[in-house]
Structure 1
Amino acid sequence: MSARARLRRSSAAVLVSAITAGSALLLTACDPSGDTAGAQPTTAAPSRTATAAPTGTPTASPTPAGTPSATASPSAPATPAATPTTPAKQPSATPTKAALNLTKGTGLTISNGTRYVVMDGRTVDFGTVVRDLAWSPDGKRAAFVDGDGNLETSDPDGGHKVLVARAPSGTTWSHPTWQVFVPGENDIAMHLQPKNNLQFTADDHGTLRLLTVPAKGGAPAQLSLGNFSSDDATPLPETGNLWPNGSGRYGSSTYANRNDGQVYLRDDYLRQQGGAVTKGSQPDLSDHGGDLVFVRSVDGHDHLFTKTGGYDGPEHDLTPKTTTDCTEPVFSSDGQTVAFRTPDGVYTVPTKGGTPTKVSDTAGLPAYRS
């Protein structure tokens, strides 16, 4: 069965209900590298059980600015994070107490380029700078880029670190994601091998490529990219690729291309195949049904869109009335919630639509731990 057919059959129900108007939002510029909001640090590992997103009255929420045109043309991919207007701060020795941290019991974590990771209602001191943290599917290991720009993994409390690979001089690594596949009985009969890899972006003097490396360590190699079997033979772009996110038991993933502004799917079950599916950037792939969430610019702001069915399903604007930039979206483990970043913190919104709820004052990269 082709990847396109399999993805179509895995479609979730069509998302419904546009987001209702939120309350007024007063935005301030944030410096992601120096924001250390949260409670006092602890080394205790949080629970691995993810629950529904927290409720409660948010201190602020993205507010309406009129309904965007349904035919608005998508623009170039959004910048992953706002560029600071002042020199970047060095990570502080201790975090500043936050006014809001509703991550307890949700599985949601936030990394912001300091040594402190927001999770389970508190902050955990990893003992090193943590950038672009991502979780293994079982929630037992974290992957991140450390203060030296190298790729590391660790336990959820920052312990038992493993240096997976060192970045070459002049190359910047970012946004690691896990690719894990545990063969079932039928998979073994087809001689499919298990996978436990990390995929990430390498910026080599401005040239972007996707790399892969065994999670236990080794030499990174360029990630292979090939077309869906039903498409023409035009090769997919090998450069300009960034923001990989892996998901699902078969090791599928999604990524974006900076040069053509497209979101791509990559299937790696019986053989590697993939292709472009929509205009956008910063995509994430749900474990449930192959649904996508991604960023697209509408009327001067970055909105969040979902696409059900993976390849050619319908699209839905999750933030149609936002007056701020909504970026870096990620699905919760159960696929019912999307967490995302704004300049003043992290919010969540139901995948079926609704009013966003602010859950943290820390402006950083959200991720969900199973």
Structure 2
Amino acid sequence: MSAHARLRRSAAVAFVSAITAGSALLLTACDPSDADAAKAGTATPSRTAGPSHTATGSATPAGSASASATPTTAATPTASAPAQQPSASASAPARQPSAEPTKAALNLTKGTGLTISNGTRYVVMDGKVVDFGTVVRDLAWSPDGKHAAFVDGNGNLETSDPDGGHKVLVATAPAGVTWSHPTWQVYTPTAEDQSYGVPAKNNLFFTADDHGTLRLLGVPATGGTPAPIRLGTYADENPVPNPATGNLWPNVGTRNGTAVYANKGDGQVYLRDDYLRQNGGPVTKGSQPDLDDEGDIVFVRSVDGHSHLFTKDRDDRSAERDLTPHATVDYTEPAFSPDGRTIAFRAPDGIYTLPAKGGTPTKVSDTVGLPAYRG
């Protein structure tokens, strides 16, 4: 049975099951590695401020927590270059730059909704540099673009307004545990959904690295105690349990709160179909996936020694396309625009965009960091 058929079948089973047994509110959360070679996907989170996503190859993303990276001692970063990271103990507050960085020579983010965080207190957005007043790692946006979520310099989960104001401490990371790559799950059920008991959702999913063990956790975006996210299976005759550990780099898409994530152990991208009940499983080899509102997936996979960007079609999960077949450097950390037409991604010299259907990459910023779109 094809992955697409399994998805449709699982959705049907979920619908019937929820009518009879109700529905569960389920949560998920950071960066996978393609076991075959996705160079940007082996990063490991670090509690220090602004550790970089260290790849298995030459790409070394900064501004997001990584899955095996060792932070390096750093100087004050600028907005136009990758931020070197200060070393700090797991419990010590991160040092913050004292002056606003020089504006990047190239900054074409104005009017695009694209933002770039690089592990400092400064975020590139709307053609300028915004001082959030605290270290910002792994910046993510609510679907309406009105709220930001990020891991602060102490390794805790915060939300704020787009300018860094009205900060809310959502949850505090336990000592020795590193949190990274939050993503918003927001869903407003229709009247019909409400009649079937489908709950509204306003959650944050993220990855917790507990001394090398990676798990997906979730917490209400308004604050609370994080809990492990249940990862169900496809409703097949002989379902194979999905791995409970090694999971990272979650991203939520679609109006129903469906998510993708990756597993560092088997190098696969997983789909988590969260509508009435959770169903899902592996869909392809790769790392660092993102999901648009229609269900298309973009992800990273190594080809001939470099990290390429691939897409996987929502209607035909067997159809894959290499968007960067001529890559001579590592392209990592892809993110869909809200309309699904554009993909922003990271290269060693800055942030680029290209059409989701394929085309020539266009450089939009000299700042090297994690790209994300405001809704």
Match of 1:295 in 2: 300
Structure with bigger RCO (C-alpha 8 Å, 6+ apart): 1
Counterpart for residue 42 of structure 1? none
The match for 1:87 is: 73
Aligned to 1:316: 321
The match for 1:75 is 37
Q: Which residue of 2 aligns with 1:169?
A: 175
SS of equivalent to 1:334: coil
Q: Which TM-score applies when normalising by structure 1?
A: 0.79
Counterpart-to-counterpart distance in 1, 2:149 and 2:245 = 23
Is 2:181 aligned against 1:219? no
Distance in 2, matches of 1:321 and 1:310, equals 26
Tell me which of 365, 369, 373 is aligned to 1:364: 369
Matches of 2:138 and 2:304, distance apart in 1: 28
Supply the AA of the counterpart residue of 2:301: R
Structure 1 residues 200 and 303: CA distance shift in structure 2, 3 A: same
Residue by residue, what CA displacement relative to the aligned partner does 1:301-356 show, whole Å, maximum 9, x if unpaired? 00000001167240000110011000000000000000000111000000111110
| Residue 340 of structure 2 is aligned to residue 340 of structure 1 | no
Report the CA distance shift for 1:231/1:179 in structure 2 as closer, same or farther (over 3 A).
farther
Aligned to 1:11: none
Does the residue aligned with 1:277 lie in a helix, a strand or coil? strand
Q: Identity over the aligned pairs, expressed in percent?
A: 68
Residue 245 and residue 136 in structure 1: after superposition, are their counterparts in 2 closer, same or farther (change >3 A)?
same
Taking the aligned partners of 1:233 and 1:300, their CA distance within structure 2 comes to 34
Matched-pair contact (CA < 8 Å) for 1:336–1:350: yes
Matched, 1:254 2:217: no
Query: Structure 1's 118 and 240: CA in aligned 2 closer, same or farther, altered over 3 A?
Result: same
Which residue in the other structure is 1:153 paired with? Answer: 159
Contact 2:118 2:136 survives alignment (8 Å): yes
Inter-CA distance 310–200: structure 2 relative to 1 (3 Å threshold): farther
Give me the whole-angstrom Cα distance separating, in 1, the residues matched to 2:364 and 2:327.
17
Number of matched pairs: 306
Contact 1:2–1:229 (Cα < 8 Å) also in 2: no
Paired letter, 1:75? A
What is the CA deviation profile of residues 54-104 of structure 1, one whole-angstrom value per residue up to 9, with x for unaligned ones? xxxxxxxxxxxxxxxxxxx95356335316996333453221221100000
- Amino acid of the structure 2 residue aligned with 1:152: E
Which residue of structure 2 aligns with residue 16 of structure 1? none
Q: Work out whether residues 292 and 310 of structure 1, in 8 Å CA contact, stay in contact via their aligned partners in 2.
A: no
Q: Confirm whether residue 129 of structure 1 aligns to residue 135 of structure 2.
A: yes
1:111 aligns with 2:73: no
Secondary structure of 1:123's partner?
Answer: strand
1:42-61 deviation line (CA, Å, top 9, x unaligned): xxxxxxxxxxxxxxxxxxxx
Deviation at 1:239, TM superposition (A): 0.3
Code of the aligned partner of 1:87: T
Gaps of 5+ in 1: 9-72
Instruction: Quote the Cα distance in structure 2 between the aligned partners of 1:146 and 1:114.
Output: 10
Cα distance, 1:185–1:361 mapped onto 2, change above 3 Å: same
Q: In structure 2, what is the Cα distance between the partners aligned to 1:150 and 1:84?
A: 19
With the length of structure 2 as denominator, give the TM-score of the two structures. Answer: 0.78
1:296 Cα deviation from its structure 2 partner? 0.2
**Partners in 1 of 2:322 and 2:286 — Cα distance?**
12
Q: Give the root-mean-square deviation of aligned CA atoms.
A: 2.2
Say if 1:311 and 1:174 are closer, same or farther in 2 by CA, change over 3 A. Answer: farther
1:10-29 matches, within 5 Å, as none
| Distance apart, 1:131 and its partner CA | 0.3
Consecutive unaligned residues in structure 2, runs of 5 or more: 12-34, 44-52, 54-59, 61-68, 77-95
